[in-house]
């Protein structure tokens, strides 16, 4: 068993992991940058080590300093949280070499899913539905034209090494294709040092529905239902919920089975998420696999009653998965709103600064995951998300009402936030009716 864990992250997710460790009787080591010396995670952990300067590249991405912190404190395992080093197979291999356990999947499983054209080929072999497109990498314009004519426009040219929405271009006609191909290749080379691209059909106004999975070291894999993350602004998730408003028991079973197949196909262990696009006719297509805990994991925790972070730690410690597929029950409806320090009236520009006062809501079925407090100075160097508000109700209508009441009570002074924007979203008729797709928020103006 593991008895000391280093958390290679900051903010609410670092706190979330520290709490899970405490409940399991495991000691914790926080790491922090010079900009984070007053951060809650650094104060609350059993031990804290400063690992470098404010910029992420000097601290939270500083692999040498993090491994040195393990060495000094005797931490046996690293929990990476999300972002930062959480999907770096290179760092996982480095940890393995140093005898430090990684709380997440193996480096090989990460690599199998990291290259998208490759991941797609693996999914096809495993019988998981994917968006129609080229068989792997497209070499030149002529090949691209033949494939696009066959699948029909519009198409997307996508970087195989892509991530974060980079290296993706849409082409609505043959004339546009040549330009899209060149632009996607150029961006892919610039961001990923690899200009390989592939082509797939552009799905019009799909939903983003993802499935949470858990796998142990003995080949057991289960799924924990879905999260609908269609409420996105420029590819950034804003609000997540479960069940998806379009879900049926049949579709959930089919998507869950596909997610489990996807995980098995790459020997996936620990917690992971399989992202799908779902079209108007409820056809679903594999999009990508996220090899880490996700921001929106509390949605699944509230729906299932399963503590995903504790499961991650137990699985990494070599425990057999104690939950069977038939034991997983989704109850009621859960919604999460991301509270960001940003100004919706000013193009959602981040608003770091000092929190003069804060009041957070509570009550039956209300959860808040945050690491900010009164007097805390939000640094400018990191993500602008400062809290996640999660509510659980009997059904979607009750969850929406509960979220409105909770957000209405929430008070943050000193910095701008998106709380009013979230309230407008919760009052929007299309949202209330479940009429959402990944482009829906980009078409609305709540500010």
Q: How far is CA 304 from CA 54, 149, 225, 369, 438, in A?
A: 38, 45, 9, 18, 25
Strands 284-290 and 270-278: antiparallel
- Active site annotation includes 292: yes
Say whether residue 211 binds ligand ADP (CB under 6 A): no
Q: Which stretch binds ligand ADP (CB under 6 A): 284-292, 310-318, 324-332, 406-414?
A: 284-292
Say whether residue 328 binds ligand ADP (CB under 6 A): no
Q: Which stretch binds ligand ADP (CB under 6 A): 37-45, 156-164, 260-268, 419-427?
A: 156-164
Name the residue nearer to ligand ADP (CB basis): 385 or 393. 385
Say whether residue 290 binds ligand ADP (CB under 6 A): yes
Report CA 246 to chain centroid distance, whole Å.
21
CB of 51 to ligand ADP, least distance (A): 16
Report CA 389 to chain centroid distance, whole Å.
16
Q: Which stretch binds ligand ADP (CB under 6 A): 137-145, 160-168, 248-256, 426-434?
A: 160-168
Report CA 88 to chain centroid distance, whole Å.
15
Question: In which region does residue 441 sit, left (phi positive, over 0), alpha (psi from -120 to 50) or beta (all else)?
Answer: alpha
Say whether residue 241 binds ligand ADP (CB under 6 A): no
Question: In which region does residue 283 sit, left (phi positive, over 0), alpha (psi from -120 to 50) or beta (all else)?
Answer: beta
CB of 389 to ligand ADP, least distance (A): 14
Structure tokens that stand for 447 in this block: 């500010």
Say whether residue 16 binds ligand ADP (CB under 6 A): no
Say whether residue 200 binds ligand ADP (CB under 6 A): yes
Query: For the window 66-95, what string marks contact with ligand ADP as x by the rule CB under 6 A?
Result: ----------------xx--x---------
Q: State which of residues 226, 228, 241, 288 lies at the interface with ligand ADP (CB under 6 A).
A: 288
Q: Which stretch binds ligand ADP (CB under 6 A): 155-163, 321-329, 354-362, 392-400?
A: 155-163
Say if residues 354 and 8 touch (Cβ distance below 8 Å).
no
Say whether residue 438 binds ligand ADP (CB under 6 A): yes
Rounded to whole angstroms, the Cα distance separating 273 from 263 reads 9
Name the residue nearer to ligand ADP (CB basis): 27 or 288. 288
Rounded to whole angstroms, the Cα distance separating 232 from 354 reads 27
Q: State which of residues 192, 202, 381, 446 lies at the interface with ligand ADP (CB under 6 A).
A: 202
Of 207, 227, 292, 338, which is the active-site residue?
Answer: 292
Question: In which region does residue 349 sit, left (phi positive, over 0), alpha (psi from -120 to 50) or beta (all else)?
Answer: beta
CB of 255 to ligand ADP, least distance (A): 16
CB of 80 to ligand ADP, least distance (A): 9
Q: Which stretch binds ligand ADP (CB under 6 A): 64-72, 158-166, 264-272, 361-369?
A: 158-166
Say if residues 271 and 321 touch (Cβ distance below 8 Å).
no
Name the residue nearer to ligand ADP (CB basis): 353 or 365. 353
Structure tokens that stand for 164 in this block: 């974060």
Say whether residue 164 binds ligand ADP (CB under 6 A): yes
Say if residues 198 and 116 touch (Cβ distance below 8 Å).
yes
CA 220-81-436 angle, to 5 degrees, is 80
CB of 166 to ligand ADP, least distance (A): 6
Helix, strand, or coil (residue 101) = strand
Query: For the window 364-403, what string marks contact with ligand ADP as x by the rule CB under 6 A?
Result: -------------------x-x------------------
Rounded to whole angstroms, the Cα distance separating 239 from 248 reads 21
Name the residue with tokens 């990460």.
110
CB of 81 to ligand ADP, least distance (A): 7
Q: Which residue is nearest to ligand ADP (CB)?
A: 83
Say whether residue 235 binds ligand ADP (CB under 6 A): yes
Structure tokens that stand for 44 in this block: 């609350």
Q: How far is CA 336 from CA 105, 238, 295, 302, 389, in A?
A: 26, 9, 10, 10, 6
Say whether residue 287 binds ligand ADP (CB under 6 A): yes
The string over 286-320, giving b where at least 16 C-beta atoms fall within 10 Å of a residue's C-beta and e elsewhere, is bbbbbbbbbbbbbbbbbbbebbbbbbbbbbbbeee
Structure tokens that stand for 166 in this block: 């980079």
Q: State which of residues 20, 49, 128, 295 lies at the interface with ligand ADP (CB under 6 A).
A: 295
List, in sequence order, every beta strand (DSSP E) within 27-103.
Answer: 27-33, 47-52, 77-79, 101-102
Give catalytic residues, as residue numbers. 292
* Residue ranges in contact with ligand ADP by CB under 6 A: 11, 82-83, 86, 131, 156, 162-165, 168, 200-203, 206, 208, 235, 237, 277, 287-288, 290, 294-295, 383, 385, 438
């Amino acid at each position: 068993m593991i008895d000391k864990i280093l958390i290679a992250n900051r903010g609410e997710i670092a706190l979330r992991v520290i709490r899970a460790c405490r409940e399991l009787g495991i000691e914790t080591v926080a790491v922090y940058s010079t900009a984070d010396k007053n951060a809650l995670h650094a104060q609350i952990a059993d031990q804290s080590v400063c690992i470098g300067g404010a910029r992420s590249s000097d601290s939270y991405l500083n692999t040498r300093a993090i491994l040195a912190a393990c060495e000094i404190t005797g931490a046996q395992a690293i929990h990476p949280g999300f972002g930062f080093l959480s999907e770096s197979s290179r760092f996982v291999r480095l940890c393995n070499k140093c005898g430090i356990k990684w709380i997440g999947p193996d480096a090989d499983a990460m690599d199998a899913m990291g290259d998208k054209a490759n991941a797609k080929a693996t999914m096809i072999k495993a019988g998981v539905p994917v968006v129609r497109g080229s068989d792997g990498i497209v070499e030149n314009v002529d090949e691209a034209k033949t494939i696009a004519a066959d699948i029909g426009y519009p198409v997307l040219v996508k970087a195989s090494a892509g991530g974060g929405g980079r290296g993706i271009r849409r082409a609505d006609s043959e004339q546009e294709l040549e330009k899209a191909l060149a632009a996607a290749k150029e961006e892919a080379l610039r961001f990923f040092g690899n200009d390989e691209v592939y082509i797939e059909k552009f799905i019009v106004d799909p939903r983003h529905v993802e499935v949470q999975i858990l796998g142990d070291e003995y080949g057991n894999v289960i799924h924990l239902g879905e999260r609908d993350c269609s409420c996105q602004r420029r590819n950034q998730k804003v609000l997540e919920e479960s069940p998806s408003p379009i879900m049926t028991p049949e579709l959930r079973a089919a998507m869950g089975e596909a997610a489990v197949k996807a995980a098995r196909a790459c020997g996936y262990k620990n917690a992971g998420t399989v992202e799908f696009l779902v079209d108007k006719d409820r056809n679903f297509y594999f999009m990508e696999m996220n090899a880490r805990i996700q921001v929106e994991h509390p949605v699944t925790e509230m729906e299932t009653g399963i503590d995903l972070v504790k499961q991650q730690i137990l699985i990494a410690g070599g425990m057999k998965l104690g939950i069977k597929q038939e034991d997983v029950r989704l109850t009621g409806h859960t919604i999460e709103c991301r509270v960001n320090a940003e100004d919706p009236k000013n193009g959602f520009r981040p608003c770091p600064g000092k929190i003069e006062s804060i009041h957070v809501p509570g009550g039956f079925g209300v959860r808040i995951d945050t690491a900010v407090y009164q007097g805390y100075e939000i640094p400018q160097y990191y993500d602008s998300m400062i809290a996640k508000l999660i509510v659980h109700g009997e059904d979607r209508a009750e969850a929406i009402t509960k979220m409105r009441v909770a957000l209405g009570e929430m008070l943050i002074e000193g910095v701008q936030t998106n709380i009013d924007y979230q309230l407008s979203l919760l009052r929007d008729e299309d949202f209330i009716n479940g009429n959402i797709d990944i482009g829906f928020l980009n078409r609305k103006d709540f500010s």
